[in-house]
Structure 1
């Protein structure tokens, strides 16, 4: 099998799975318990927090463990909105955010908050001037995705941070789920207050992630109970999952350093070969994440291509995994000005550091044969 759907999820490292199993076998005590057996679990969590903080160059107390990216995004957005509602009720985000940002924003709109959705250009990039122009006296939060999960476009995070930091009452949140270990970012230098991470995007385990919360930023908790995670995320800690995050993050960072040039070469090869196919339209901009490539085949639906390639042992996707079953045109592509017919046919190839050039060559070979066969059938029935 050739697995090219790494933006949806990645295969956990064997070492990560081994760590998770061993911890749950040997140190299954409740980290909140008073006895030493529970204390050992707490020590492991503390160590993992320190390791993660060291890797992303922040302070350990700025790491809040969650069940993943969706919860972290919700905590960042709703937690800010509720905590600082006396400051104002205006939020700024983009038109191409992940659903775990867009849906909380829509919920807040129903509660009386105002949300500005910054448009993107044909390459899926927002203009920093639009962000600056959207800021009002009521603005309390700017939430921007770092790397778009469908097309791989990279937003000007630092430039936006420079704008936001001029306004002391505005909190700056970045969804870094698709960027971590792939597109480097410095949280402090970019003036980021809140940042979202999800472990299963970097060969960790599903159901685990964390939110960076800069010291001094306050949030209203979404889950109350046992007062874990600085009272921001109650619930018995997932000790094995948390330690596995640290393991996966360290291994993925090392893998990126060793294999980033290979990934760049693979994407360049795919773009070059796909560009030679007359019916293919590439949507990912030239300056985008080397791990994501989005394109359409004129005359074919994305889901038809996905299933046809799966029968050949190749796994790709249409839009994001959270939206792929809706069978509606990609909102990201429509926001870029792509027409509905082309948008509904979009597919995504997403890479990891484990993929090889040989896999890319086999993909192109099978893809050409598959598209030729499918288009022949479509034209025969016209």
Structure 2
């Protein structure tokens, strides 16, 4: 199941380090290439010789290997890996990861990794329950790291509670399921719109909105990570894309966004319209800066092209069209009406009345509805987590 996958296994100073031996053996058995990075303290719990034998690869602990004169490059490791699994992850290492501390090879590799990161905590129950540890785990999740929850049971201290590292067999099952889910969009082309549009008044002024583009870019990254060919039609935002499967087209106005989106949708499987597109644009656009005068300035506005409605007319039976609704009142009624009027298959609703949702923040709280009458309400999550929920819903309808 993991044939051809490159996995870095990070082992920290925890009594659960003995489980890393079984974990390594199982990963190799599944076909993965495994490189093990250990903290200096981890060597007190399990020997590098054991891990080297099972992984069939030299163990890395220090930046410099005096035996052969080679440097262990954390940058090269970060580029090599398809997954960085830190198991067991001690409270100490989790705290350093959350704080960006890089005082050993395991941590510098973490900061350099461009692949998904999974963290399997292992510690005593009071350490795990401590507010600092819980805060640090939430910080890691906000980075997009995946936490493999520990089990409840008898701990090394003799106490009984949550803190035992998940069993190696279950971790491997989790990893195989994760990689299987990452290709569920293979062969699919998806158009995603993101960010605001700017409608020029004159060379220095425009009509716009507060959209940061964070939600749309998170959706694009999630889709690309799961095998899709993604065309991201992006309004003016200060965010970068990372996945090589994303082809980004930057636009400014609603007219430009419509032109690109409608052209790309013609041969796409899915469109996700998360951009906050201006509803109106100035009828006249001054070619010079408008000066202040004594009289009132009156702008005549014309409606912009309704991208969702136009794509709804274009859509064929095999295509899926997903819209967004940001509402301030009568949220569900307005969202359902929008879905029906514009021939959408699914709509993602969020409300400015929900704290932590909307523009400019890293979290969102959504309700997803479809034309079949299904309705799923989600709690407040990071936008990375919300992106996964939205893409999961799309996948279930393809």
State the TM-score, normalizing by the size of structure 2: 0.28
Using CA pairs below 8 Å that are at least 6 residues apart, which structure has the higher relative contact order?
Answer: 1
User: Greater CA radius of gyration, 1 or 2?
Assistant: 2
Greater share of residues in helix: 1
TM-score computed with the length of structure 1 as normaliser: 0.28
